[in-house]
Structure 1
């Protein structure tokens, strides 16, 4: 009987877990995490095996419905269905978003994205950097919210038009309208811009529902406290997401002067019933291309309601082999936790059983805000990379939870000063208060110790002085 009681208690702690958090946000692994990791890893592998078996029996049919997808299972095998604009249904926080982001070896960069939301809202990012000229941004920035005009459908609004042409092969990218140019020579001006581009790829897409390394997902889930509400949250927050690298070539007319873009870009497509920026604490993501043709996307996401520390990503080797990332050695709490993203940092990641050392140098930043009340601050960072000492280029995207509301005077070029610290979670404030109280106590103890030491030193000095006087008097008497 005692054996079963002990077993039940052990099982409770294994599956519920004991959550020890770093600075109130990032849970750290403990002994029970290993058991939980093995359990989730086994479940994901079982789901992958069953989905593969079902897909084989059904030919090229659906391997899993949208609601059943994720954790080893694709939402569908039909790429035409994947690439099409998805039904937002009646979910108030539903999202259907596409993104193209990347750069070239000669220092040209572009980020263009469009996220379909309810009520004809399209949340967009559009920025281009051309060396010698400057950085162009959409005139609506830093706000990203655009409203589609009557007749506009899909990913079209505010002059932006993103359309799939051949599923997983070709997309059309267009823009026509004003943009604000921050000139390298100084100052800024309004320009008329027309961009016509085409994205092409022959690479296999990476489906985060089915292609992620199971052990990475298992480790992330094992950090969390398990209960029924937790598993309901991760199911409710799940988004179908896939990515692909390719080449984007475009002609850009800026006040009738022509420029050409030939960029290695990462594109993605996300669809889900709920994206609530208020739940996201922060993330740090990187995409890069090297001279040899190594391409990669990876980073860490912190969304405490579901995954407080989720490592994710993949690479394409120079011979176009797709490999999931097995580990990302990047601790967010060590890099810009207060709101100032690092302009120069290093970390490492593992893919295909091989470790890669990464060095990042940020050349230029553009900040935009997401949400009705600007709940998220997203920083697009144009970067130079070194991957195992090989030169590369790409775009890094960092995000922070924003709690200061809208500020119409905010510039998308405004740098965050080292003194500026964003408002943190209540737990952060409690930790800060606790730390301050601790410092006060330490300072009081130190002051007390100093007074004690000073008192002792004065006493010793006094004794020494008295002793010296006596010795001096004795010597005088002897001399006499």
Structure 2
């Protein structure tokens, strides 16, 4: 009888501890960045199983060859949160760069283009409201009045055409220039689909959010990158990252010199970033977001390189 009482007491204590742990609900950092709640580990397990099954089914069905449907313009619902986006970015070791994006909604189409050539920086913001489909070859083209993106090879090559006005970024923003751009955007990096992301890392990111119907609408942390090995011509999904966005959140002042580590393909990478130029770009796409584009020099495990970074800050005042 004595042992039975002790067992019941232990079970009761464990149950109370379990309930207390499940009740754990820390406030988000800066009111934005979620922290681990009491259900975090249960959610990690749940999402890990789901994502592993999705990845396994994708490999069996050989979906890697079916990329063209992903690149076409998609049928959208009437929700303003349902969007179809194409975004292309590129830079060279001299800091010259191009960033462009077209976002489709049923009621509106927006886009922007950013060019940096030497010390000169130009931007253009495009907004069509209401949205009128101007595609000549529907499904193969994203286009606005000035900017047109045509598929040449799915997820590999796009034809870029721009004819219109662009404004100075940092000096006289009222001064505009007539600009014409024609080129081909090409990448030789193997295709990386979001389902190629590391399942455990993806599950941890999803598990940070509250378990409710707004779960996927309020995601504030997502690690979905990859490391490309030119020797192997292979991509490795990022498994972990030490970069904590909340350390740069709320200040609207992107870092100029920072470092972090990532792990991919059983290799740790130490990354040091030094910013060479920062530009704030306002677009009509979202009035509650402040966007910064940066050109950088980068050192990865002692190897020098360059790149572009984009920081988006939510205006919560």
Do they superpose with TM above 0.5? Answer: yes
- 1:83 and 2:71 correspond: yes
The alignment partner of 2:224 has SS state of strand
Q: Following the alignment from structure 1 to structure 2, what is the Cα–Cα distance between the partners of residues 150 and 39?
A: 42
| Equivalences for residues 300-311 of structure 1 within 5 A | 305=218, 307-311=219-223
Q: Does 1:145 align with 2:127?
A: yes
Rg larger in structure? 1
Aligned residues: 303
Q: Residue 40 of structure 1 aligns to a residue in which SS?
A: helix
Query: Which structure's residues are more often helix, by fraction?
Result: 1
Q: Does the CA-based 8 Å contact 1:98-1:114 persist in structure 2?
A: yes
Do the aligned residues in 2 keep the contact of 1:148 with 1:158 (CA within 8 Å)?
A: no
Instruction: Describe how 1:351-390 pairs up with structure 2 within 5 A.
Output: 351-370=264-283, 374-390=287-303
* Mapped contact 2:209–2:215 kept (Cα < 8 A): no
1:392 to 287, 297, 305: 305
Give the distance between the partners of 1:190 and 1:221, measured in 2 at CA. 43
User: Which string of whole-angstrom CA distances, capped at 9 and with x for unpartnered residues, describes residues 148-202 of structure 1?
Assistant: 886613521141111112223321101011222458xx75743221111012234
Matched with 1:222 is 207
1:338-377 superposed Cα distances (whole Å, 9 cap, x missing partner): 2221222222211112221222222223323456771211
SS of alignment partner, residue 311 of structure 1 = coil
Structure 2 gap ranges (5+): 1-6, 136-140
Distance 2:77 2:249 in 1: 38
Q: What displacement does 1:8 show?
A: 6.5
Q: Which residue of 1 aligns with 2:214?
A: 233
- CA positional deviation for 1:324: 0.5
Answering whether residue 251 of structure 2 is matched by residue 331 of structure 1, we say no
Matches within 5 A, 1:305-454: 305=218, 307-319=219-231, 320-370=233-283, 374-403=287-316, 423=317
Q: Pick closer, same or farther for the CA change 1:92–1:181 going to 2, 3 Å.
A: closer
* TM-score normalised according to structure 1 size: 0.56
* Aligned with residue 51 of structure 2, among 29, 44, 59: 44
Q: Which position in structure 2 is the counterpart of 1:117?
A: 105
Which runs of no fewer than 5 residues in structure 1 stay unpaired?
Answer: 64-75, 238-304, 404-422, 424-480
Q: Deviations over 1:36-90 (max 9, x none)?
A: 433432332234334544x2xxxx5xx6xxxxxxxxxxxx862121111111133
